[in-house]
Structure 1
């Protein structure tokens, strides 16, 4: 996945906003809370994507070669993963994890904020 594809995918998710920060990283938020970061990798040869995960997925992905606990965030006890060496075969998985991160972060918003943004309504 390229950064352009990453940005287009994140933009397609509900109630998202985009900002460039932290060393030219593409930071995506839902309700003002970060759910995905494109960039933020010292080696700029390949794109890197960072996202929040469930505890189970955090430990699962930490065991895979192309993923690692996210710099800065994971060292503070947060369950964030970075895909730093993804192959084209991993794109569907990456989209799943980004969408799941969006869901997890949106569930952490107040119920009022979720209603205002039209999130998690059933």
Structure 2
């Protein structure tokens, strides 16, 4: 997983905002709901939401752990770039965006979709 490419991908989704939180993290959000987090500067890891049924499968892999503070919401933290290939990482990030987008109000979804 190329973390810099992952950040670029996150920025490409419709309606995405990016801001700095907690002093050292870049947070990618849609409709003010975060779907991915990485560290400021050169990314060395990334957290994102996954489907409930994928959580255990992914966290059983070396280099992927339950995301600190967010594991109860089924977030994973990729701490080793070799744990995921670029194509799989892109698929998981896209799905994280979709999961969060799907929880937004229909009105907000339409506004973002039309942007």
TM-score range, shorter chain: 0.7 to 0.9
In structure 2, the partner of 1:86 is 81
Instruction: For structure 1, list consecutive stretches of 5 or more residues without a partner in the other structure.
Output: none
Native 8 Å contact 1:46 1:85 kept in 2: no
Count, aligned residues: 114
Within 1, Cα distance between the matches of 2:87 and 2:26? 20
RMSD: 2.3
Distance change >3 Å, CA 23–CA 117, structure 1 → 2: same
Match of 1:37 in 2: 37
**Runs of 4+ residues deviating >3 angstroms:** 1-4
TM, length-normalised to structure 1: 0.83
Q: Could you tell me how far apart the structure 1 residues matched to 2:59 and 2:89 are?
A: 14
TM-score, structure 2 as length reference? 0.87
Between 1 and 2, higher relative CO (CA 8 Å, sep ≥ 6) is seen in 2
Structure 1: how far apart are the matches of 2:62 and 2:3?
21
Contact 1:69/1:82, CA 8 A, preserved across alignment: yes
Partner of 1:12: 12
Give structure 2 stretches of 5+ with no counterpart: none
What is residue 112 of structure 1 aligned with on the other side? Answer: 107
